[in-house]
Amino acid sequence: KNQVEQSPQSLIILEGKNCTLQCNYTVSPFSNLRWYKQDTGRGPVSLTIMTFSENTKSNGRYTATLDADTKQSSLHITASQLSDSASYICVVGENTGTASKLTFGTGTRLQVTL
Amino acid sequence: DGGITQSPKYLFRKEGQNVTLSCEQNLNHDAMYWYRQDPGQGLRLIYYSQIVNDFQKGDIAEGYSVSREKKESFPLTVTSAQKNPTAFYLCASSMMDRSYEQYFGPGTRLTVT
């Protein structure tokens, strides 16, 4: 069964600090991996997307890495801000030929405090 | 939230009543999706549609129904057969050949008592 596991479940950091969120997956055949940010009570918003051949992708203070051999990804947030407080969801796409079936992780809840 | 709107944001219903959640998109996307989000669980696919007048069941379709009469609209009906309807419902859309690149709406929180 395809699975996406994220760690930690929750995280509290001080404003200005860096943090790294982890994502391990068993999805096969792998197509792509995406990180979303979801504010409480809102829809997820895409941060980065990586395919098999990409091992890093940046979006401002967010940098995602992908190791397709070990089936691991990480999302690094630099110089955190209060507005970074949200859930971060790792989503892995399975190559089904005609479409990409997505498997969602349960998310990491990040709280940035003063 | 892009060009996807969901209404209403909050919805309350009594047990045994059917309820319809609205999803509209102006992104000219071919495909649309409905997901359910529960605490501590990843998003689960309820139904999806890749073309007008056609749709397929997702992983948890029981107790739900959909229609796709227009490209822009993909309403979801939560029927009384759905045993645990209280949840956060998310609609998404994508281009047909880029189904991994889904754009999400703001969601509807349904509470059934």
| Residue B92, pLDDT above cutoff 80 | yes
Q: Is B10 helix (H, G, I), strand (E, B) or coil?
A: strand
User: CB of A46 within 8 Å of any CB in chain B?
Assistant: yes
| Residue B33, pLDDT above cutoff 60 | yes
| Residue A24, pLDDT above cutoff 80 | yes
| Residue A97, pLDDT above cutoff 70 | no
Q: How confident is the model at residue B60 (pLDDT cuts 50, 70, 90)?
A: very high
Longest dimension (CA), chain A: 47
In the prediction, which pLDDT does B1 show? 47
Beta carbons within 10 angstroms of residue B8's beta carbon? 11
Question: In chain B, what residues touch A34 (CB-CB under 8 Å)?
Answer: 100-101
Residue of B nearest to A90 (CA): B42
Residue of B nearest to A35 (CA): B101
| Residue A22, pLDDT above cutoff 50 | yes
- The residue-averaged pLDDT of B65-89 equals 95
Q: Which residue of A57, A101, A103, A108 to mutate against B (max B Cβ within 10 Å)?
A: A101
Retrieve residue B19's tokens.
């309820």
- Return all residues near B42 (Cβ < 8 A) that are at least 6 apart: A4, A89, A103, A104, A105, A106, A107
Q: Which residue of B25, B59, B96, B100 to mutate against A (max A Cβ within 10 Å)?
A: B100
| Residue B62, pLDDT above cutoff 80 | yes
**Cα of B15 to nearest chain A Cα, Å:** 23
Per residue in B40-55, pLDDT (tens digit) is: 888 999 999 999 999 9
User: CB of A7 within 8 Å of any CB in chain B?
Assistant: no
- The residue-averaged pLDDT of A33-44 equals 95
